[in-house]
Structure 1
Protein backbone atom coordinates (compact mmCIF):
# COMPACT_ATOMS: atom_id res chain seq x y z
CA UNK A 1 0.00 0.00 0.00
CA UNK A 2 1.33 3.45 -0.91
CA UNK A 3 2.21 5.92 1.91
CA UNK A 4 -0.75 8.13 1.03
CA UNK A 5 -3.12 5.16 1.32
CA UNK A 6 -1.71 4.31 4.76
CA UNK A 7 -2.33 7.89 5.85
CA UNK A 8 -5.97 7.71 4.70
CA UNK A 9 -6.54 4.42 6.54
CA UNK A 10 -4.93 5.79 9.67
CA UNK A 11 -7.05 8.92 9.58
CA UNK A 12 -10.20 6.82 9.14
CA UNK A 13 -9.30 4.66 12.13
CA UNK A 14 -8.70 7.73 14.28
CA UNK A 15 -12.05 9.13 13.20
CA UNK A 16 -13.82 5.89 14.07
CA UNK A 17 -12.06 5.80 17.44
CA UNK A 18 -13.15 9.36 18.11
CA UNK A 19 -16.73 8.52 17.24
CA UNK A 20 -16.63 5.46 19.48
CA UNK A 21 -15.43 7.59 22.37
CA UNK A 22 -18.39 9.94 21.90
CA UNK A 23 -20.94 7.14 22.32
CA UNK A 24 -23.17 7.78 25.31
CA UNK A 25 -22.27 5.05 27.83
CA UNK A 26 -25.90 4.68 28.87
CA UNK A 27 -27.02 4.22 25.27
CA UNK A 28 -24.25 1.70 24.70
CA UNK A 29 -25.32 -0.20 27.82
CA UNK A 30 -28.88 -0.31 26.47
CA UNK A 31 -27.59 -1.66 23.17
CA UNK A 32 -25.47 -4.33 24.86
CA UNK A 33 -28.42 -5.25 27.06
CA UNK A 34 -30.70 -5.70 24.07
CA UNK A 35 -28.10 -7.81 22.27
CA UNK A 36 -27.75 -10.06 25.29
CA UNK A 37 -31.51 -10.47 25.55
CA UNK A 38 -31.71 -11.39 21.88
CA UNK A 39 -28.97 -14.00 22.13
CA UNK A 40 -29.51 -15.45 25.60
CA UNK A 41 -33.15 -14.59 26.30
CA UNK A 42 -32.32 -13.54 29.87
CA UNK A 43 -30.02 -11.04 31.55
CA UNK A 44 -27.32 -11.92 34.09
CA UNK A 45 -28.98 -9.48 36.49
CA UNK A 46 -32.18 -11.53 36.38
CA UNK A 47 -30.30 -14.74 37.13
CA UNK A 48 -28.50 -13.19 40.10
CA UNK A 49 -31.76 -11.70 41.44
CA UNK A 50 -33.34 -15.17 41.24
CA UNK A 51 -30.39 -16.63 43.11
CA UNK A 52 -30.69 -13.90 45.73
CA UNK A 53 -34.39 -14.57 46.19
CA UNK A 54 -33.68 -18.26 46.81
CA UNK A 55 -31.02 -17.37 49.37
CA UNK A 56 -33.36 -14.87 51.02
CA UNK A 57 -35.90 -17.63 51.67
CA UNK A 58 -33.31 -20.24 52.64
CA UNK A 59 -33.33 -21.28 56.30
CA UNK A 60 -30.13 -20.83 58.25
CA UNK A 61 -28.77 -22.91 61.15
CA UNK A 62 -31.20 -21.06 63.45
CA UNK A 63 -34.11 -22.24 61.33
CA UNK A 64 -34.89 -18.67 60.25
CA UNK A 65 -34.98 -17.09 56.80
CA UNK A 66 -34.04 -13.53 55.98
CA UNK A 67 -37.71 -12.61 56.23
CA UNK A 68 -36.99 -12.39 59.97
CA UNK A 69 -34.53 -9.59 59.33
CA UNK A 70 -35.22 -5.86 59.49
CA UNK A 71 -33.63 -3.90 56.64
CA UNK A 72 -34.88 -0.61 58.00
CA UNK A 73 -38.63 -0.71 57.44
CA UNK A 74 -39.60 -3.68 59.59
CA UNK A 75 -39.07 -7.44 59.45
CA UNK A 76 -39.25 -8.78 55.93
CA UNK A 77 -40.21 -5.42 54.39
CA UNK A 78 -38.08 -4.91 51.29
CA UNK A 79 -40.05 -2.43 49.15
CA UNK A 80 -37.94 0.73 49.07
CA UNK A 81 -35.64 -0.42 51.88
CA UNK A 82 -32.39 -0.36 49.89
CA UNK A 83 -33.04 3.22 48.78
CA UNK A 84 -32.82 4.30 52.44
CA UNK A 85 -29.43 2.76 53.15
CA UNK A 86 -26.89 3.26 54.68
CA UNK A 87 -28.54 4.06 58.00
CA UNK A 88 -28.12 3.54 61.74
CA UNK A 89 -29.66 0.37 63.21
CA UNK A 90 -30.59 0.25 66.88
CA UNK A 91 -30.17 -3.52 67.14
CA UNK A 92 -26.48 -3.40 66.18
CA UNK A 93 -25.67 0.12 67.37
CA UNK A 94 -23.92 1.03 64.12
CA UNK A 95 -24.46 2.37 60.62
CA UNK A 96 -24.87 -0.35 58.00
CA UNK A 97 -25.20 -0.39 54.23
CA UNK A 98 -27.05 -3.11 52.32
CA UNK A 99 -24.08 -5.49 52.15
CA UNK A 100 -23.27 -5.12 55.83
CA UNK A 101 -26.91 -5.50 56.86
CA UNK A 102 -27.16 -8.74 54.85
CA UNK A 103 -24.04 -10.01 56.62
CA UNK A 104 -25.57 -9.07 59.99
CA UNK A 105 -28.77 -10.88 59.06
CA UNK A 106 -26.99 -14.05 57.97
CA UNK A 107 -24.81 -14.21 61.07
CA UNK A 108 -26.92 -12.74 63.89
CA UNK A 109 -30.38 -13.90 62.79
CA UNK A 110 -29.81 -16.95 60.63
CA UNK A 111 -26.88 -18.25 62.62
CA UNK A 112 -24.30 -18.72 59.87
CA UNK A 113 -20.67 -18.47 61.00
CA UNK A 114 -19.13 -15.35 59.49
CA UNK A 115 -16.41 -17.36 57.79
CA UNK A 116 -19.09 -19.48 56.07
CA UNK A 117 -20.76 -16.49 54.41
CA UNK A 118 -19.71 -16.29 50.77
CA UNK A 119 -19.26 -12.90 49.16
CA UNK A 120 -21.13 -14.11 46.07
CA UNK A 121 -24.15 -14.89 48.27
CA UNK A 122 -24.12 -11.44 49.85
CA UNK A 123 -24.00 -9.86 46.39
CA UNK A 124 -26.85 -12.04 45.11
CA UNK A 125 -29.08 -11.14 48.06
CA UNK A 126 -28.13 -7.47 47.60
CA UNK A 127 -29.27 -7.69 43.98
CA UNK A 128 -32.59 -9.20 45.06
CA UNK A 129 -33.29 -6.69 47.83
CA UNK A 130 -32.17 -3.76 45.68
CA UNK A 131 -34.58 -4.86 42.93
CA UNK A 132 -37.41 -3.99 45.33
CA UNK A 133 -36.34 -0.33 45.29
CA UNK A 134 -36.57 0.24 41.55
CA UNK A 135 -38.68 3.36 41.00
CA UNK A 136 -38.06 4.68 44.51
CA UNK A 137 -36.13 7.83 45.38
CA UNK A 138 -32.91 7.78 47.38
CA UNK A 139 -33.79 8.91 50.90
CA UNK A 140 -30.79 8.79 53.23
CA UNK A 141 -30.92 10.92 56.36
CA UNK A 142 -28.48 11.99 59.05
CA UNK A 143 -30.52 11.69 62.22
CA UNK A 144 -28.27 9.86 64.66
CA UNK A 145 -24.87 11.08 65.91
CA UNK A 146 -23.28 7.93 64.46
CA UNK A 147 -24.61 8.83 61.00
CA UNK A 148 -23.35 12.39 61.24
CA UNK A 149 -19.90 11.23 62.39
CA UNK A 150 -19.65 8.68 59.60
CA UNK A 151 -20.76 11.26 57.03
CA UNK A 152 -17.99 13.60 58.22
CA UNK A 153 -15.46 10.78 57.84
CA UNK A 154 -16.78 10.00 54.36
CA UNK A 155 -16.43 13.64 53.33
CA UNK A 156 -12.86 13.70 54.63
CA UNK A 157 -11.97 10.50 52.77
CA UNK A 158 -13.61 11.71 49.56
CA UNK A 159 -11.50 14.87 49.39
CA UNK A 160 -8.28 13.35 50.76
CA UNK A 161 -5.31 13.00 48.40
CA UNK A 162 -3.25 9.94 49.28
CA UNK A 163 -1.33 7.01 47.84
CA UNK A 164 1.59 6.83 45.44
CA UNK A 165 -0.15 9.10 42.90
CA UNK A 166 -1.31 11.71 45.43
CA UNK A 167 -4.90 11.60 44.17
CA UNK A 168 -8.27 10.83 45.69
CA UNK A 169 -11.95 10.47 44.88
CA UNK A 170 -12.44 14.20 44.33
CA UNK A 171 -9.50 14.39 41.93
CA UNK A 172 -11.45 12.42 39.33
CA UNK A 173 -15.04 13.08 40.36
CA UNK A 174 -14.85 16.82 41.10
CA UNK A 175 -11.69 18.36 39.62
CA UNK A 176 -11.68 16.42 36.34
CA UNK A 177 -15.40 15.85 35.83
CA UNK A 178 -16.19 15.52 32.13
CA UNK A 179 -12.60 14.75 31.16
CA UNK A 180 -11.93 11.30 29.77
CA UNK A 181 -10.59 8.24 31.53
CA UNK A 182 -10.03 5.88 28.61
CA UNK A 183 -13.27 6.13 26.63
CA UNK A 184 -15.55 7.34 29.42
CA UNK A 185 -15.64 10.76 31.12
CA UNK A 186 -15.24 11.05 34.87
CA UNK A 187 -18.67 11.19 36.48
CA UNK A 188 -19.95 13.93 38.78
CA UNK A 189 -20.77 11.53 41.62
CA UNK A 190 -22.05 14.34 43.86
CA UNK A 191 -24.37 15.91 41.35
CA UNK A 192 -26.10 15.41 38.02
CA UNK A 193 -24.77 11.92 37.26
CA UNK A 194 -26.50 10.47 40.34
CA UNK A 195 -24.10 7.56 40.24
CA UNK A 196 -25.43 6.09 43.49
CA UNK A 197 -28.35 4.72 41.49
CA UNK A 198 -25.95 2.79 39.20
CA UNK A 199 -25.04 0.21 41.86
CA UNK A 200 -25.50 -2.66 42.49
CA UNK A 201 -24.96 -3.57 38.88
CA UNK A 202 -23.81 -6.12 36.34
CA UNK A 203 -20.75 -4.93 34.39
CA UNK A 204 -20.96 -6.35 30.89
CA UNK A 205 -17.40 -5.21 30.09
CA UNK A 206 -15.89 -7.74 32.47
CA UNK A 207 -18.85 -10.00 33.33
CA UNK A 208 -18.88 -9.09 37.03
CA UNK A 209 -21.60 -8.41 39.58
CA UNK A 210 -20.72 -5.50 41.84
CA UNK A 211 -22.28 -3.61 44.69
CA UNK A 212 -21.14 -0.11 45.66
CA UNK A 213 -18.64 -1.73 48.03
CA UNK A 214 -16.92 -3.42 45.08
CA UNK A 215 -17.04 -0.19 43.06
CA UNK A 216 -15.35 1.81 45.83
CA UNK A 217 -12.65 -0.83 46.29
CA UNK A 218 -11.98 -0.83 42.56
CA UNK A 219 -11.64 2.96 42.59
CA UNK A 220 -9.01 2.75 45.30
CA UNK A 221 -7.15 0.19 43.21
CA UNK A 222 -7.29 2.52 40.19
CA UNK A 223 -5.49 5.26 42.11
CA UNK A 224 -2.83 2.83 43.34
CA UNK A 225 -4.08 2.98 46.91
CA UNK A 226 -4.51 -0.06 49.19
CA UNK A 227 -8.10 -1.24 48.93
CA UNK A 228 -10.22 -1.02 52.11
CA UNK A 229 -11.57 -4.34 53.35
CA UNK A 230 -15.12 -5.28 52.49
CA UNK A 231 -17.63 -4.15 55.15
CA UNK A 232 -15.00 -1.78 56.60
CA UNK A 233 -15.59 1.67 58.09
CA UNK A 234 -13.96 3.65 55.23
CA UNK A 235 -16.27 2.03 52.68
CA UNK A 236 -19.36 2.63 54.83
CA UNK A 237 -18.32 6.25 55.38
CA UNK A 238 -17.87 6.92 51.66
CA UNK A 239 -21.15 5.19 50.87
CA UNK A 240 -23.07 7.32 53.36
CA UNK A 241 -21.44 10.50 52.04
CA UNK A 242 -22.24 9.62 48.40
CA UNK A 243 -25.76 8.37 49.10
CA UNK A 244 -26.66 11.52 51.01
CA UNK A 245 -25.53 13.65 48.05
CA UNK A 246 -27.74 11.59 45.75
CA UNK A 247 -30.90 12.13 47.82
CA UNK A 248 -33.94 12.57 45.63
CA UNK A 249 -32.51 10.64 42.70
CA UNK A 250 -34.91 8.06 41.27
CA UNK A 251 -33.66 4.50 41.05
CA UNK A 252 -34.37 3.75 37.40
CA UNK A 253 -33.33 0.12 37.65
CA UNK A 254 -31.71 -1.94 40.38
CA UNK A 255 -29.64 -3.92 39.75
CA UNK A 256 -28.34 -1.83 36.89
CA UNK A 257 -26.64 -2.93 33.65
CA UNK A 258 -23.48 -0.90 33.08
CA UNK A 259 -20.21 -0.93 31.17
Structure 2
Protein backbone atom coordinates (compact mmCIF):
# COMPACT_ATOMS: atom_id res chain seq x y z
CA UNK A 1 0.00 0.00 0.00
CA UNK A 2 2.87 2.32 0.86
CA UNK A 3 4.51 1.85 -2.54
CA UNK A 4 1.18 2.06 -4.31
CA UNK A 5 0.49 5.39 -2.65
CA UNK A 6 3.95 6.67 -3.56
CA UNK A 7 3.54 5.57 -7.16
CA UNK A 8 0.20 7.35 -7.39
CA UNK A 9 1.78 10.47 -5.92
CA UNK A 10 4.64 10.36 -8.46
CA UNK A 11 2.20 9.89 -11.33
CA UNK A 12 0.20 12.82 -10.07
CA UNK A 13 3.30 15.01 -9.87
CA UNK A 14 4.36 13.98 -13.36
CA UNK A 15 0.95 14.93 -14.65
CA UNK A 16 1.21 18.38 -13.06
CA UNK A 17 4.69 18.87 -14.53
CA UNK A 18 3.54 17.78 -17.97
CA UNK A 19 0.70 20.29 -17.85
CA UNK A 20 3.09 23.07 -16.76
CA UNK A 21 5.42 22.60 -19.75
CA UNK A 22 4.30 25.07 -22.45
CA UNK A 23 3.21 23.41 -25.68
CA UNK A 24 5.36 23.91 -28.75
CA UNK A 25 3.72 26.91 -30.50
CA UNK A 26 4.08 25.19 -33.87
CA UNK A 27 2.12 22.19 -32.64
CA UNK A 28 -0.45 24.46 -31.02
CA UNK A 29 -0.83 26.40 -34.28
CA UNK A 30 -1.50 23.15 -36.14
CA UNK A 31 -4.10 22.20 -33.53
CA UNK A 32 -5.83 25.59 -33.73
CA UNK A 33 -5.77 25.44 -37.53
CA UNK A 34 -7.36 22.00 -37.56
CA UNK A 35 -9.96 23.09 -35.01
CA UNK A 36 -10.97 26.04 -37.16
CA UNK A 37 -11.24 23.86 -40.25
CA UNK A 38 -13.39 21.35 -38.38
CA UNK A 39 -15.75 23.95 -36.95
CA UNK A 40 -16.06 26.41 -39.84
CA UNK A 41 -14.51 24.67 -42.84
CA UNK A 42 -12.41 27.74 -43.69
CA UNK A 43 -9.50 29.67 -42.21
CA UNK A 44 -9.43 33.44 -41.62
CA UNK A 45 -6.34 33.54 -43.82
CA UNK A 46 -8.41 32.07 -46.68
CA UNK A 47 -10.83 34.97 -46.40
CA UNK A 48 -7.94 37.45 -46.44
CA UNK A 49 -6.56 35.79 -49.57
CA UNK A 50 -9.96 36.15 -51.26
CA UNK A 51 -10.11 39.81 -50.26
CA UNK A 52 -6.67 40.28 -51.82
CA UNK A 53 -7.77 38.48 -54.97
CA UNK A 54 -10.68 40.86 -55.40
CA UNK A 55 -8.38 43.85 -54.91
CA UNK A 56 -5.87 42.44 -57.41
CA UNK A 57 -8.31 41.88 -60.26
CA UNK A 58 -10.62 44.84 -59.71
CA UNK A 59 -10.01 47.90 -61.89
CA UNK A 60 -9.30 50.68 -59.44
CA UNK A 61 -7.55 53.99 -58.91
CA UNK A 62 -7.49 57.16 -61.04
CA UNK A 63 -6.45 55.10 -64.07
CA UNK A 64 -9.12 52.44 -63.60
CA UNK A 65 -6.87 49.41 -64.07
CA UNK A 66 -6.23 46.19 -62.19
CA UNK A 67 -2.86 44.99 -60.88
CA UNK A 68 -2.60 42.28 -63.54
CA UNK A 69 0.02 44.31 -65.35
CA UNK A 70 2.30 44.46 -62.30
CA UNK A 71 5.68 42.76 -62.59
CA UNK A 72 6.68 41.14 -59.30
CA UNK A 73 9.95 39.95 -60.77
CA UNK A 74 8.92 37.20 -63.17
CA UNK A 75 7.01 39.24 -65.74
CA UNK A 76 3.76 41.18 -65.81
CA UNK A 77 0.98 39.27 -64.08
CA UNK A 78 3.13 36.24 -63.17
CA UNK A 79 2.50 35.46 -59.52
CA UNK A 80 3.52 31.83 -59.03
CA UNK A 81 7.00 31.77 -57.56
CA UNK A 82 7.26 35.56 -57.36
CA UNK A 83 6.97 36.19 -53.62
CA UNK A 84 9.58 33.55 -52.68
CA UNK A 85 12.14 35.47 -54.76
CA UNK A 86 11.57 38.74 -52.92
CA UNK A 87 13.11 41.10 -51.92
CA UNK A 88 14.91 41.76 -55.20
CA UNK A 89 16.12 44.63 -57.38
CA UNK A 90 13.69 46.21 -59.85
CA UNK A 91 15.09 48.25 -62.73
CA UNK A 92 11.93 50.34 -63.15
CA UNK A 93 12.35 51.86 -59.69
CA UNK A 94 16.10 51.41 -59.29
CA UNK A 95 15.44 49.93 -55.84
CA UNK A 96 15.39 46.65 -53.98
CA UNK A 97 11.77 45.99 -53.09
CA UNK A 98 9.94 43.50 -50.90
CA UNK A 99 6.39 42.31 -51.51
CA UNK A 100 4.81 45.20 -49.60
CA UNK A 101 6.76 47.93 -51.33
CA UNK A 102 6.31 46.34 -54.76
CA UNK A 103 2.55 46.31 -54.24
CA UNK A 104 2.68 49.99 -53.35
CA UNK A 105 4.83 50.70 -56.42
CA UNK A 106 2.26 49.06 -58.70
CA UNK A 107 -0.65 50.79 -57.02
CA UNK A 108 1.03 54.14 -57.65
CA UNK A 109 2.61 53.52 -61.07
CA UNK A 110 -0.14 51.42 -62.65
CA UNK A 111 -3.32 52.46 -60.90
CA UNK A 112 -2.36 56.07 -60.28
CA UNK A 113 -2.81 56.20 -56.51
CA UNK A 114 -0.73 58.77 -54.65
CA UNK A 115 1.68 57.18 -52.13
CA UNK A 116 -0.28 58.61 -49.21
CA UNK A 117 -3.47 57.06 -50.63
CA UNK A 118 -2.09 53.51 -50.45
CA UNK A 119 -3.75 51.84 -47.46
CA UNK A 120 -2.19 49.10 -45.33
CA UNK A 121 -5.67 47.56 -45.14
CA UNK A 122 -5.32 46.89 -48.88
CA UNK A 123 -1.59 46.12 -49.12
CA UNK A 124 -1.81 43.32 -46.53
CA UNK A 125 -4.60 41.27 -48.20
CA UNK A 126 -2.90 41.80 -51.57
CA UNK A 127 0.29 40.42 -50.06
CA UNK A 128 -1.65 37.40 -48.74
CA UNK A 129 -3.12 36.67 -52.16
CA UNK A 130 0.14 37.07 -54.08
CA UNK A 131 2.13 35.05 -51.54
CA UNK A 132 -0.47 32.26 -51.59
CA UNK A 133 0.41 31.63 -55.24
CA UNK A 134 3.87 30.47 -54.10
CA UNK A 135 2.70 28.11 -51.36
CA UNK A 136 4.86 24.99 -51.25
CA UNK A 137 7.69 26.46 -53.34
CA UNK A 138 11.24 26.91 -52.02
CA UNK A 139 12.60 30.32 -51.11
CA UNK A 140 15.02 31.42 -53.83
CA UNK A 141 16.41 34.85 -53.03
CA UNK A 142 19.44 36.02 -54.97
CA UNK A 143 22.22 38.47 -54.24
CA UNK A 144 23.27 39.51 -57.74
CA UNK A 145 22.75 43.19 -58.48
CA UNK A 146 25.00 45.72 -56.68
CA UNK A 147 21.92 47.21 -55.01
CA UNK A 148 21.00 43.76 -53.66
CA UNK A 149 24.49 43.30 -52.24
CA UNK A 150 24.33 46.71 -50.55
CA UNK A 151 20.89 45.99 -49.11
CA UNK A 152 22.00 42.56 -47.90
CA UNK A 153 25.00 44.06 -46.11
CA UNK A 154 22.76 46.66 -44.51
CA UNK A 155 20.39 43.93 -43.35
CA UNK A 156 23.26 41.95 -41.87
CA UNK A 157 24.49 44.98 -39.93
CA UNK A 158 21.00 45.77 -38.69
CA UNK A 159 20.40 42.16 -37.63
CA UNK A 160 23.50 41.98 -35.44
CA UNK A 161 23.50 45.57 -34.19
CA UNK A 162 22.82 46.15 -30.49
CA UNK A 163 21.46 49.52 -29.46
CA UNK A 164 18.88 51.32 -27.40
CA UNK A 165 18.33 51.45 -23.67
CA UNK A 166 18.18 47.65 -23.47
CA UNK A 167 21.31 47.12 -25.60
CA UNK A 168 19.53 44.53 -27.73
CA UNK A 169 19.00 43.70 -31.38
CA UNK A 170 17.56 41.00 -33.64
CA UNK A 171 20.41 38.58 -32.96
CA UNK A 172 19.97 38.88 -29.20
CA UNK A 173 16.72 36.94 -29.39
CA UNK A 174 17.10 34.99 -32.62
CA UNK A 175 20.72 33.85 -32.26
CA UNK A 176 21.84 34.12 -28.63
CA UNK A 177 18.52 33.08 -27.05
CA UNK A 178 17.16 30.64 -29.62
CA UNK A 179 14.59 28.25 -28.08
CA UNK A 180 14.56 30.15 -24.80
CA UNK A 181 11.13 31.44 -23.95
CA UNK A 182 9.71 34.90 -23.64
CA UNK A 183 6.33 34.27 -22.04
CA UNK A 184 4.79 31.33 -23.92
CA UNK A 185 6.83 31.65 -27.11
CA UNK A 186 10.38 30.40 -27.70
CA UNK A 187 12.68 32.59 -29.75
CA UNK A 188 12.98 31.07 -33.22
CA UNK A 189 16.12 30.52 -35.27
CA UNK A 190 15.24 32.87 -38.12
CA UNK A 191 18.56 32.25 -39.88
CA UNK A 192 17.76 28.79 -41.09
CA UNK A 193 16.44 25.99 -38.91
CA UNK A 194 12.96 27.41 -38.40
CA UNK A 195 13.09 29.36 -41.67
CA UNK A 196 10.64 31.88 -40.25
CA UNK A 197 10.72 33.84 -43.50
CA UNK A 198 8.91 30.94 -45.18
CA UNK A 199 5.74 31.61 -43.11
CA UNK A 200 5.15 35.29 -43.85
CA UNK A 201 2.78 36.97 -44.52
CA UNK A 202 0.81 35.23 -41.81
CA UNK A 203 -2.44 35.20 -39.87
CA UNK A 204 -1.85 35.42 -36.11
CA UNK A 205 -4.68 33.56 -34.41
CA UNK A 206 -3.76 34.76 -30.90
CA UNK A 207 -4.86 38.31 -31.68
CA UNK A 208 -6.75 37.91 -34.97
CA UNK A 209 -4.27 39.95 -36.99
CA UNK A 210 -3.02 39.65 -40.56
CA UNK A 211 0.62 40.67 -40.73
CA UNK A 212 3.31 40.85 -43.37
CA UNK A 213 6.99 40.60 -42.43
CA UNK A 214 7.14 44.40 -42.35
CA UNK A 215 4.54 44.38 -39.57
CA UNK A 216 6.52 41.72 -37.71
CA UNK A 217 9.79 43.65 -37.95
CA UNK A 218 8.14 46.88 -36.80
CA UNK A 219 6.63 45.05 -33.82
CA UNK A 220 10.04 43.64 -32.89
CA UNK A 221 11.56 47.11 -32.94
CA UNK A 222 8.79 48.31 -30.69
CA UNK A 223 9.30 45.40 -28.28
CA UNK A 224 12.98 46.33 -27.99
CA UNK A 225 12.15 49.93 -27.22
CA UNK A 226 13.40 51.22 -30.59
CA UNK A 227 11.53 53.65 -32.84
CA UNK A 228 9.63 51.62 -35.42
CA UNK A 229 10.94 51.96 -38.99
CA UNK A 230 8.56 53.35 -41.58
CA UNK A 231 6.66 50.97 -43.82
CA UNK A 232 8.37 50.40 -47.19
CA UNK A 233 11.63 51.92 -45.89
CA UNK A 234 15.10 50.35 -46.36
CA UNK A 235 15.25 48.93 -42.81
CA UNK A 236 12.50 46.27 -43.06
CA UNK A 237 13.45 45.50 -46.66
CA UNK A 238 17.14 45.03 -45.83
CA UNK A 239 16.36 42.79 -42.85
CA UNK A 240 14.04 40.68 -44.98
CA UNK A 241 16.66 40.26 -47.70
CA UNK A 242 19.28 39.17 -45.18
CA UNK A 243 16.97 36.69 -43.45
CA UNK A 244 15.40 35.36 -46.65
CA UNK A 245 18.81 34.65 -48.15
CA UNK A 246 19.68 32.54 -45.10
CA UNK A 247 16.40 30.64 -45.56
CA UNK A 248 16.99 29.76 -49.22
CA UNK A 249 15.50 26.38 -50.21
CA UNK A 250 13.15 26.33 -47.22
CA UNK A 251 9.66 25.29 -48.28
CA UNK A 252 7.17 28.15 -48.14
CA UNK A 253 3.93 27.73 -46.19
CA UNK A 254 1.91 30.69 -47.39
CA UNK A 255 0.09 32.40 -45.96
CA UNK A 256 1.36 31.34 -42.57
CA UNK A 257 -0.86 30.46 -39.62
CA UNK A 258 0.97 31.42 -36.44
CA UNK A 259 0.39 32.27 -32.83
TM-score normalized by structure 2?
0.92
Matched, 1:237 2:258: no
Question: What is the aligned residue count?
Answer: 247
User: Is residue 15 from structure 1 mapped to residue 17 from structure 2 by the alignment?
Assistant: yes
* 2:212 corresponds to: 211
Aligned partners of 2:14, 2:120: CA distance in 1, in Å?
46
Query: Corresponding residue for 1:7?
Result: none
Deviations 1:128-149 (A, max 9, x none): 0000001111011011110000
Q: By how many angstroms is 1:15 displaced?
A: 2.8
SS in 1 for 2:254: coil
Distance 2:93 2:148 in 1: 13
Structure 1 residue 16 displacement after superposition: 5.5
Structure 2 gap ranges (5+): 1-12
Structure 1 runs, 4 residues or longer, greater than 4 Å off: 11-14
User: Deviations 1:35-82 (Å, cap 9, x if unpaired)?
Assistant: 222233321100000000000011122132110110000000001100
What residue is the counterpart of 1:91 in the other structure?
A: 92
Query: 1:103 matched to which residue of 2?
Result: 104
Supply the RMSD in Å over aligned alpha carbons: 1.6
Map 1:128-143 to 2 at 5 A: 128-143=129-144
**Displacement after TM superposition at 1:89 (Å):** 0.2
Partner of 1:4: none
1:220-239 superposed Cα distances (whole Å, 9 cap, x missing partner): 11111111111111111101
Partner of 2:9: none
Post-superposition CA distance 1:92-130 (Å, at most 9, x none): 100000000000000111111222221010000000000
Normalization by structure 1: what TM-score? 0.92
How is 1:66-215 mapped onto 2 (pairs within 5 angstroms)? Answer: 66-215=67-216
